[in-house]
Amino acid sequence: MRNASSTRAAGGPDPRSPRGPSSPHFLHDFVYLASQSPRRSQLLQQIGVAHERLLPATHEDADALEALEAHRPGELPADYVQRVTRAKLQAARARLAAVVAAGGVAAPVLCADTTVALGRTILGKPADAREALATLRKLAGRTHRVLTAVAVHDGRRTHAALSVSHVRFAPLPVAVLRAYVASGEPFGKAGAYAVQGALAAHIAHIEGSHSGIMGLPLFDTARLLQAAGVRTALTVA
In the residue annotation, 128 being an active-site residue is answered as: no
Strand partners, 40: none
Q: Measured at the alpha carbon of residue 83, what is the angle toward residues 73 and 133, in degrees to the nearest 5?
A: 60
Nearest to 111, CA basis, from 151, 78, 81, 64: 151
Q: Using N-to-C axis directions, what is the helix angle for 218-227 and 38-46, rounded to 10°?
A: 70
**What is the distance of C-alpha 236 from the center of its chain?**
25
Cβ-based neighbours of 163, under 8 Å, separated by 6 or more: 147, 148, 149, 150, 208, 209, 212, 217, 219, 220
Selected catalytic residue, list 14, 29, 63, 113: 113
Active site residues per annotation: 113
